[in-house]
Amino acid sequence: MNAEAPIGIFDSGIGGLTVAHAINKVLPNEKIIYFGDTQHLPYGNKSIEKIQKYSITIIDFLLKKQCKAIIIACNSASAVAYQKIIKKVENQALIFNVIHPVINYINSQTHIQHVGVIGTNATISSDIYRTHINTLRKDITVSSLATPLLASLIEEDNKILYQKGIVESYLENHKLKNIDSLILGCTHYPLIEKQINHFYDKKVEIISAIKYIGHSVKKMLKQNNLLNQKNTKHKHYFYVSDYTENFQKKTKLFFPKSIILEQENIFS
């Protein structure tokens, strides 16, 4: 693996852009190759087998791009495809998911006693957050709620969520009663974090992978002597399986400078 090689990041859509932005902020010297599987979004309502199949195909694409590290910037894929990806990649690249950094943070915070989790059907059905949290901290109560409409609506237009009160209707669910913290178990959800904070009047701690993933990746790259030390401006490359003007527009929210966005049909 080469320190000047790129970091690969993938998600089913725009959610992973929050992760790409976080990586770029902490690691400005690194080149990013992003793949958004817009053809199959959202992953959260797909079968485990489909999510694994799509993820492995994208991993093959990113390995061909000689990525030194690959971040699974999707909670659904992190939950059900991570182990298969680890076996597939072996020593070809470092692999990161968006669940472990959140678990590590919660394990270090003694004030957290009752944590809520919102995410896609695939993520919540896997029960991965409760399993990992309670393995480390049996004193924490974990209450999970599937919020299947959110990711698709965020892809389309955040305004719909505000107008219809969909976010509030989920957060009012009895499963999330009396929580002291809330895990945003989908990388799309940081895009509506302001609305969630408003609902809780900032009295519930909002926990998101994008707050910790950058430092987690930096630490591991440093340990493996893979940090790019050259202070040169890299071009980031963004690929999608189905080009849409909406994706192009959302990309500019995180990377204002002109970017290269290409459609790459890797599933044919």
In order of their start, the domains of the chain are 7-97+211-263 (3.40.50.1860), 100-209 (3.40.50.1860)
- For residue 177, pLDDT beyond 80: yes
186 is catalytic: yes
| Per-residue CA distances from 83 to 51, 77, 144, 236 (Å) | 12, 10, 22, 28
Q: Which of 2-6, 212-216, 223-227, 248-252 has the lowest mean pLDDT?
A: 248-252
Q: pLDDT band at 249, cuts 50/70/90?
A: confident
Burial of 129 (0-12, 13-18, 19+ CB in 10 A): buried
Q: Where do the H-state alpha helices sit in 43-165?
A: 48-64, 75-80, 82-89, 100-107, 121-126, 128-136, 149-156, 158-164
- For residue 164, pLDDT beyond 90: no
Residue found by looking up tokens 């609902």 in the block: 199
Six token digits for residue 157: 């237009």
| Per-residue CA distances from 182 to 154, 214, 256 (Å) | 19, 20, 30
Q: pLDDT band at 252, cuts 50/70/90?
A: confident
Of 9, 186, 210, 240, catalytic: 186
Burial of 93 (0-12, 13-18, 19+ CB in 10 A): buried
Tell if the pTM clears 0.85, that is, is over it: yes
| Per-residue CA distances from 6 to 72, 84, 90, 100 (Å) | 15, 22, 18, 22
67 is catalytic: no
- The tens digit of pLDDT for each residue in 182-230 reads 999 999 999 999 999 999 999 999 999 999 999 999 999 999 999 998 8
Alpha-carbon gap, residue 231 to 214, rounded angstroms: 18
Of 74, 103, 167, 184, catalytic: 74
Q: pLDDT band at 160, cuts 50/70/90?
A: low
